[in-house]
Amino acid sequence: MKDQLQALEKEALQKVEDASSLKELQDVRVAYLGKKGPITEVLKGMGKLSKEERPVIGELANKVRGQVAEAIDSKKAGIEAAELEKQLAEETIDVTLPGRPIPTGGPHLLTSIVEEIEDLFIGMGFEVREGPEVETDYYNFEALNLPKDHPARDMQDTFYITDEILMRTHTSPVQARTMNMIKGERSVKMICPGKVYRRDTDDATHSHQFTQIEGLYVDKNVRMSDLKGVLDRFAKQMFGEDREIRLRPSFFPFTEPSVEMDISCKVCNGEGCSVCKRTGWIEILGAGMVHPRVLKMAGYDPEEYSGFAFGMGPDRIAMLKYGVDDIRHFYTNDIRFLKQYHQA
């Protein structure tokens, strides 16, 4: 039995030495150290030995089992280390290579224009206010001196939800709501950006949905010259310090007097070209002094307070500033167009 154990030890150690993979090594472990292995079979036959031989053979059997197990563990560690080294060699990453760029988006051109205008007017002391896009007829029209039978409503036909609820046609209702909330107790200096809706047929210069920014300044002793100064600063900031402005008489129900503001054409510097239709000027926005009736409806005393208001379309400003020839480009989500202006 002693010779048998020594032969098994030699045989098992040779098998361990010859094993070249973890699977082969596991097969050796099962074959020699498993419950049905030869070493276990030898131990089962110890009952036939004398009392003197049992301790000797038992000690030898345990020694053989331990040496084989130790050899298997040592070989396993070597195989695992070799496999890891091979894997690292095959999967080497050159950390000196630049990383693959991850495409990132950017702000929409209209968002950039709106934020630029907001920053400009905040710098002049205006606050930014917002209001609902689904508006009442009263705030959208009547509070702005446009009663139900007023013909000027035809120019702002919109989408009605009920007879009294509609999609706002301008952001002026935010001005009316703000003045109503203050009730003539203090001055107000604000701009209100947002989306507006009109029943327009979409073409290169018209859209049923577009953005608008309207401004309002109401205080004591506000004059038309104040309005001109604010608009002149706006034009030079947006289009260049060499831009000139002019104010032309116009009509808006909520302002009196009313004006249209033009800027000198930056293409021809006022000389006249196809862009400005040979006039040297490009219409940019409407403005005027707040109508006394609008002030009175909002709780202001028109004998004590005066103010000016203006309204502009960021869509049009973006088209003029960046040479965009079709307003629909802003809303069709063509990435090829939009990504040109991520740094605008």
Contacts of 41 (CB under 8 A, 6+ apart): none
The whole-number pLDDT of residue 45 equals: 65
Q: Report pLDDT for 199.
A: 84
Cα within 13 Å of Cα(168), Cβ side? 26
Residue 288 has pLDDT above 70, yes or no: yes
What percent helix, strand, coil does the chain show, rounded to 5?
45, 20, 35
Please give the pLDDT value at position 294.
94
Which residues touch 44 (CB under 8 Å, ≥6 apart)? none
Answering whether pTM is above 0.85, one says no
- How do residues 239-278 score in pLDDT, each as one tens digit? 989 889 999 999 999 999 999 999 998 878 778 887 788 8
133 is in an annotated binding site: no
> Is residue 126 over pLDDT 70?
yes
- pLDDT, one tens digit per residue, over 4-38 is 777 777 887 888 788 888 888 888 878 877 777 77
Residue 316 CA to chain centroid, in angstroms?
Answer: 23
Residue 267 DSSP class: T
Of all residues in the chain, what percent carry a pLDDT higher than 70? 95
Mean pLDDT of the chain: 87
